[in-house]
Each structure stands twice: as C-alpha cells, then as structure tokens.
Amino acid sequence: MLLIGRTIFEAMLAHLKAAYPLEGCGLLAGPAGRVRQLYPVDNRLHSGVAFEMEPAQLIAAIMDMEAQGQGLLAIYHSHPAGAAVPSPTDIAQANYPEAVQIIVSLEEPEQPQVGAFQIVDGRVSAVTLIVV
C-alpha cells in the first residue's frame, strides 16, 4: 500500500499532462509508505512510447531525498496512448524492486487512469494506491 496526498497526486498528474503527448516521468519520496515529495524529471528520450530520466535531474532528486532523510517510494511515468499497466519494456527495465511503479494512462487526458505495481524479477503485482 502507498499513501499519497491529493496535492502531490494532482501535481503528478499535472506534470504528466504537461508532457503529453510524450511520456512524462518522475520520482516520489517519503518515509514508510507515505509520499511527502514529488520530483518531476525530464524524459531525455522525448518519446511518446518510452522514457529515460535525465541523469543530472535524477541524481539531484536522489541526493535531495537522502539529505531530507526520505526514501524512494515510487517511480511514475505516463502512457500517453496506452493502458495504466506495465509494458514489457517497463517490466524489463524495473531496476528498483523496492519502489512502486505508478503508471498513468492518458488515453483520455481529462480522465487519467492510474495503476500502481510492484515489479520484482519480472513478476508484476498490483499495489493499492490511496489518495488522501
């Protein structure tokens, strides 16, 4: 289970909508399963079907998390024209099994669909995402 405040949740959706029709991406951090910080990161691939976080921004986000004593809780990205489920690429590139993978479908940008998953050794499990 992952708890996320409505303000951060809405900021994540706004970031992903702003990136549309490209995939947007970023990180969520906090203590013990409760998101406290959003880190939008540029997609250096500038692609509508794949993402790769801009390295300098990724490192800065991780360093800030560590400085604040927070842990990486989730990695989020959008599927501009796909479902809110992990693609084969998402599964293959899930290198942080401790982090929840949040995928936001923007097939209908005004009604985004959100899925949350744990991906460990190629196995995908749904995670409950609670917006409070």
What number of residues does the chain have?
132
DSSP 8-state symbol, 6: H
Active site residue 23: yes
Burial call 13-31: b when 16+ CB within 10 Å, e when fewer: bebbbebeebbbbbbbbbe
Q: Tokens 């970023």 map to which residue?
A: 26
d(CA 50, CA 30) in angstroms, rounded, equals: 26
- Are 39 and 63 a contacting pair, CB within 8 Å? no
Q: Quote the Cα angle for 54-56-57, to 5°.
A: 65
Q: Of the listed 23, 54, 98, 107, which one is catalytic?
A: 23
The residues assigned a catalytic role are 23
